[in-house]
Structure 1
């Protein structure tokens, strides 16, 4: 599977610990209030980080996710004229935790010179 075939989750330290402890996560407040997990394609990750995570004091992790493990609960939705983002709702749009077994690889993000970085971006 090529890197562009994966989808990505920007995860906080607290959420990553929940994944490791429970084998899944219910995500953050935004995910719970909207009833879906907000995910990105690789080329969208930097934009999402800059728009929503720039002032985050908590350590962040980038989770590489195999979309095939999410089944038909994964839906791509247009947010504007050029961007369609993946969202995980769960089967039948029933909000369920994101399973750890869908995560292929995880890396801690580093913030350097105004940008987030990790090996996924190289």
Structure 2
């Protein structure tokens, strides 16, 4: 399971995403070590729906922090895009962000005219 949270600093125009991974410990085996988990990430402008940043994050520690700079306003975060890793996600999405993502059309169905969240 991957869990995470975000903080936006409007003065610094930065978005900080903190991700944690938890791997189930199987009895009779050594404690699990963090796995490399690719997390395809995009940040969407809430007003225009445009992608303002896109990056492949590599979560390879138990907890990691990723900082996006030059982000003019708080974006909608889209994680694990295109099924970049087969993991469960527990993220602190707001209802409005989930509604935004659900309104986006899947890539390919509209010949690339609307990005997917």
TM-score, normalized by length of structure 2?
A: 0.30
Higher strand share: 2
TM-score, normalized by length of structure 1?
A: 0.29
Higher helix share: 1
Larger Rg: 2
